[in-house]
A and B are shown apart, each in its own frame.
Chain A
Amino acid sequence: MSRLAQWLRTLWSRCSAALRRERLDREFDEELTTHLELLVDEGRRHGLSPVDARRIALQRLGQPGVLREIHREQRAIQIIDRLTQDVKHSLRRLRQTPVFTAVVTLSLALGIGANTALFSLVDDLLLRSLPVRDPNRLVQVRQVALSFGFRKPLNAFSPQAFDTMRAHNDALSDIVGFAPMDRPAVLVDGEPEPGRDVEQVSVNFFHHLGVVPVVGRAPEPSDAAVAVVSYDWWQARFGGSSSVLGKIVTVNGQAAEIVGVAPRGFHGLATDTPSDLWIVSRNAMDLLMVARTRPGLTAAQVSAATDAVFRELALTPPGIQMETELRPAGKGMSQLRAQYEQPLVALTGLVALVLLITCTNVGTLLMVRNASRRRELTVRVALGAGKSRLVVQCLVESALLAFVGGALALAVAQWGVSILLSLLPIAAVPEGLTFQADARVVGFAVLLSLLSALLFGLAPAWRASHVDVTALRSSPGSTATTASRRVGRFLVACQVGLSVLLLVGAGLFVQTLRNLVQVDVGFNPDRLVQVVIDTRGAGYGDGDAAGAVYRLVLERLAAIPGVESVTAVRNPIMRHSLSRGMMRLPGMTLEPDEYWDEASVGPSFFETMGIPLLRGRTFAAADFAAERGRGFIVNEAWAKRYFPNDDPIAKQIGIIGVVGNARLAGVRSETAPMTFMMIPRAPDRVSALEVRASGRPTHVVAAIRDEVRRIHPRLFVDVRPMREEIARDMATERLVAGTSAFFGALGLLLVSIGIFGVASYAVAMRTNELGIRMALGAGRWTVIRESLKDTMWVLAAGSSAGTLVAVAAVRVAGSFMSDLLFGLTASDAATIAAAVLLIVAVALAACIMPARHATRIDPLRAIRCD
């Protein structure tokens, strides 16, 4: 019976014994009773009285209580002994090779850490459900208008719509409403509380979601103005005291009484902006609608029933086509999720590759090291160590390495997440989105460590079980059996293949970013500053007053020293904000819904932006003075589309000029047909001003901000150099490219370590043979070639397999990752070729040291070293 099986059997019986402890105790009692009775019977047969017989029987058996204790102990020792012995031995071995141990634990820490970091983000953004009752049935109800060739969602609904929906829709239950407030003014005890996020909610919000306050109660329909505070704010502002109940909080001038504290971990339904306060909406505010679908209905049935109610409500004028949309809301509503789902999935794939490479790499290193200790292992087997005991020891060693690596990985992950988050183009990282080493994340790291230990520990362990004791008699060199080298080669080939895959992935994302950076946006972003102004916070609505403010700002900014020119535009540049327009073109029939992009621009827009004028003229100051600007300007794409052969200006249909194509909405936006209209002299709404500075744009940014504040301190203003706006537009791509490039480099480093190890080992194993060859007159090059031959084959096999898989994987990934790729065909041959070349170059570099070492072998020593 092998020791391993025995060990496992003992392990099994101990574990199950722990589970079945009570039953085993009962059985043992029964066994003892039978034993005792048999002893009593024996005594009676020898003529003892029943009392004496029992007394002597007990004497001969021993105290049942003591026996039971000993029995229990015996069921539980031994294994711990065996295990501590193995752990101690492994620790001693690892200490003997500090460099090896450091390299292995560090690479594991990086591999597992990168995965844990990503998992913590993926878990937060994509996996975790809201802490509400039945989150899987929660949906957000929206209407989507199909107009102007756009899908325009209608998210918020009136109280009346809510009432009708509750009364007439059987497919939905627990209908609740909420709406985040825009920069609310919050007062507690008359003190302002800046930067608090407040949501208005329907009165049944907490009841229907199944969120039970930890202190106080949920709002009731009979309540006057009431509010619920979040757990975090309760702790931070009210010291976690129950005296918070009954306090008055004032939001935008309306007072509400605090009646409850939400449970910890509940931050509302919009997960990007965790709420601090929920006030029950008393006015006729439009709210977002969230509800539960009735169980047993299909999505189509629920959708149809909801659609019918909406049609009854007739929310929009006839003629506009509306569609009902139910979006799963069980994980909360998140812009970030929508934006980062694809990148995170792509990065998860890459980072998993990194871990696979790490594991094969560590496996290779372990094997190489074990091979160099082969003689020791063989001697131990010869002295009677069970082979399976060696296997167990190998696995224990792997597990130790993995767990040390895993522990370090948590630190790496924390660091990694903060770097990843700092790359995100958001002003404030949402509170929920930090690295928290909670049970799920730690559990993931532990699981991953275990899996890796199995993955990289199996091959060395398997090899350890194939020790041939007879080989002890022959030379130590030949004990490194060919089988061990075959496994080593296979592992290296795997590593090379995986790295090709990883590098191709990383290469495509980097190439995407490069393509985006090189895109000609069609205007000159240097020395350009964009000023986005929101007048609503200062009390100006859309209309004349707002128009006056814009004109004032425009004039003041133009007067700032260092500003060359200023212009206005209705839709901010690079913010994916677009208007659509159309017009009748004489002598042409257009499709009924043929709209194109339209921009409303102020005076000297094209000059300020640096968009080239191709024909005709731009808007003159006189055009603006004429109040109602006549005429419009088109871009080149528009001219080509509608007048491919003629000069559109000559057509006398109001076109006064043709300008070059410019990507105004975003870097990725295709150059579509576009028209430019004049902003009226008294605009009702303008969103952005564009400022051309004469020097570096950063010099005027502060001046602009001060000037706007001087006009009205509560004007919300966002001033950024255009270069920064463009960079923000590419932030996702930058994040993906940066991270994947890092992973690619990490993979390369690991592979080079692995190949170096294997090549060194191959040379060391053939010292004898190479020595003889040199003694027989082989030249340097012959020796190098001989020592590298193996590795070359492995490289060739690995990289060709990797290339094949990469081509296939890119095909598949390209179809659902198209948002992440730009300006390249998915199977970008150049990227793949570059990846393979890079791997081969790195691999060769890793081989050179061992090969040079081979040429320095002293033939005499090599032959004698047997």
Chain B
Amino acid sequence: MCYVYRKDVRVKSKLDLLQGTLDLMVLRTLSTLGPLHGYGIARRIEQVSGDRVILNQGTIYTSLVRLQQRGWISARWGVSENNRRAKYYVITRSGEKQLVAETEYWERLAAVMGRVLASERSDK
């Protein structure tokens, strides 16, 4: 898979995210791990991606609001491991459906992109 793109011939060490990608990652995380607060989600994505994607952990909250507005996740207050009030996010049933659909779409797109880019490269 080719996640790296070139700019001024310099390879970026961290990845800029396409719109909606972060949303999908959040959904995936919540679906796998169950209720999590913002820190937990951000941490998990960093770990799974090998610290290669996240720019600012705070960015995660934009995504969380968007997903809540669409009704794909819901939130409730709980207590964090350091004994503070924290908002825990849970994926909803329609969120699960969306996850399935988006995952499928993403895989198709990735596959197509992979093929197209591979053929371009071999042409050169």
A interface list, Cβ under 8 A from B: 1, 5-6, 9-10, 13-14, 27-28, 30-35, 37-39, 41-42, 60-64, 66-67, 70-71, 74-75, 78
Give B92's nearest chain A residue, CB to CB: A1
Tell me if A78 and B57 are in contact (CB < 8 A): no
B70 in contact (CB, < 8 A) = yes
Tell me if A74 and B87 are in contact (CB < 8 A): no
B44 in contact (CB, < 8 A) = no
Show 27 residue pairs from A and B whose CB-CB distance is below 8 angstroms, ordered by the A residue. A1-B70, A1-B71, A1-B94, A6-B71, A13-B69, A14-B69, A31-B37, A31-B38, A34-B80, A34-B84, A35-B37, A35-B57, A37-B84, A38-B37, A38-B39, A38-B80, A39-B57, A41-B82, A62-B56, A62-B57, A62-B59, A67-B56, A70-B58, A70-B61, A71-B62, A71-B65, A74-B66
Give B84's nearest chain A residue, CB to CB: A34
Tell me if B37 and A34 are in contact (CB < 8 A): yes
B86 in contact (CB, < 8 A) = yes
B31 in contact (CB, < 8 A) = no
B7 in contact (CB, < 8 A) = no
Tell me if B68 and A31 are in contact (CB < 8 A): no
Q: List 4 additional contacts besides A1-B97, A63-B58; criterion CB under 8 Å.
A: A9-B70, A27-B87, A35-B42, A38-B37
Contacts of B84 in A (CB 8 A): 33-34, 37
Tell me if A38 and B82 are in contact (CB < 8 A): yes
Tell me if A32 and B58 are in contact (CB < 8 A): yes
Contacts of A42 in B (CB 8 A): 43
C-alpha gap A41/B58 in the complex (Å): 17
C-alpha gap A66/B62 in the complex (Å): 12
B6 in contact (CB, < 8 A) = no
Contacts of B69 in A (CB 8 A): 9-10, 13-14, 75, 78
- Min CB gap A97→B, angstroms: 34
Contacts of A10 in B (CB 8 A): 69-70
C-alpha gap A278/B86 in the complex (Å): 69
Give the residue among A34, A67, A74 with the most B Cβ atoms within 10 A.
A34
Contact A31 B56, CB 8 Å, known A1-B97, A38-B39, A74-B66: no
- Report the contact-size class of chain B (Cβ under 8 Å from the partner): 20 to 34
Main SS at interface, chain A: helix
Contacts of A71 in B (CB 8 A): 61-62, 65
Within 8 Å by CB of B87, from A31, A41, A60, A70, lies: A31
Contacts of B82 in A (CB 8 A): 34, 37-38, 41
- Min CB gap A67→B, angstroms: 4
- Min CB gap A829→B, angstroms: 60
C-alpha gap A331/B16 in the complex (Å): 69
C-alpha gap A30/B85 in the complex (Å): 8
C-alpha gap A1/B95 in the complex (Å): 9
Contacts of B66 in A (CB 8 A): 74
C-alpha gap A715/B68 in the complex (Å): 83
Contacts of B85 in A (CB 8 A): 30, 34
Contacts of A32 in B (CB 8 A): 58, 61
Give B77's nearest chain A residue, CB to CB: A27
Within 8 Å by CB of B86, from A5, A31, A39, A75, lies: A31
Contacts of B98 in A (CB 8 A): 1
Contacts of A63 in B (CB 8 A): 58
Contacts of A30 in B (CB 8 A): 85
Q: Scan residues 76-124 of chain B and give those whose CB is less than 8 A from a CB of chain A.
A: 80-82, 84-87, 94, 97-98
Give A13's nearest chain B residue, CB to CB: B69
- Min CB gap A338→B, angstroms: 57
Within 8 Å by CB of A35, from B38, B68, B70, lies: B38
Within 8 Å by CB of A75, from B39, B42, B65, B94, lies: B65
- Min CB gap A265→B, angstroms: 46
- Min CB gap B44→A, angstroms: 13
Within 8 Å by CB of A34, from B42, B71, B86, lies: B86
Give the residue among B37, B61, B81, B94 with the most A Cβ atoms within 10 A.
B61
Tell me if B38 and A70 are in contact (CB < 8 A): no
Contacts of B87 in A (CB 8 A): 27, 31
Tell me if A6 and B86 are in contact (CB < 8 A): no
Tell me if A62 and B58 are in contact (CB < 8 A): yes
C-alpha gap A41/B80 in the complex (Å): 12
C-alpha gap A101/B44 in the complex (Å): 56
C-alpha gap A796/B86 in the complex (Å): 68
- Min CB gap B89→A, angstroms: 10
Contacts of B57 in A (CB 8 A): 35, 39, 60-62
Contacts of B86 in A (CB 8 A): 31, 34-35
Tell me if A9 and B71 are in contact (CB < 8 A): yes
| A-B residue pairs, 8 tightest by C-beta | A62-B56, A62-B58, A67-B58, A1-B94, A38-B39, A34-B84, A34-B86, A35-B39
C-alpha gap A75/B68 in the complex (Å): 10
Contact with A along B10-54 (1 / 0, CB 8 A): 000000000000000000000000000111001100000000000
Contacts of B58 in A (CB 8 A): 32, 35, 61-64, 66-67, 70
Within 8 Å by CB of B61, from A6, A60, A67, lies: A67
- Min CB gap B14→A, angstroms: 12
- Min CB gap B81→A, angstroms: 8
Within 8 Å by CB of A28, from B42, B61, B80, lies: B61
C-alpha gap A531/B42 in the complex (Å): 97
Tell me if A6 and B62 are in contact (CB < 8 A): no
C-alpha gap A578/B77 in the complex (Å): 83
C-alpha gap A6/B97 in the complex (Å): 14
Give B93's nearest chain A residue, CB to CB: A1
- Min CB gap B64→A, angstroms: 9
C-alpha gap A217/B71 in the complex (Å): 61
Contacts of B56 in A (CB 8 A): 60-62, 67
Contacts of B94 in A (CB 8 A): 1
C-alpha gap A33/B86 in the complex (Å): 9
Within 8 Å by CB of A39, from B39, B71, B81, lies: B39
Give A24's nearest chain B residue, CB to CB: B65
- Min CB gap B78→A, angstroms: 10
Contacts of B43 in A (CB 8 A): 42
Contact A74 B62, CB 8 Å, known A27-B87, A35-B57: yes
C-alpha gap A75/B65 in the complex (Å): 7
- Min CB gap A269→B, angstroms: 56
Contacts of A33 in B (CB 8 A): 84
- Min CB gap A294→B, angstroms: 54
Give B42's nearest chain A residue, CB to CB: A35
Contacts of B37 in A (CB 8 A): 31, 34-35, 38
Give A32's nearest chain B residue, CB to CB: B58
- Min CB gap B106→A, angstroms: 17
Give B85's nearest chain A residue, CB to CB: A30
Give B62's nearest chain A residue, CB to CB: A74
Give B66's nearest chain A residue, CB to CB: A74
Tell me if B61 and A31 are in contact (CB < 8 A): yes
C-alpha gap A818/B69 in the complex (Å): 59
- Min CB gap B79→A, angstroms: 10
Contacts of A37 in B (CB 8 A): 82, 84
C-alpha gap A31/B60 in the complex (Å): 12
Contacts of A14 in B (CB 8 A): 69
C-alpha gap A35/B69 in the complex (Å): 22
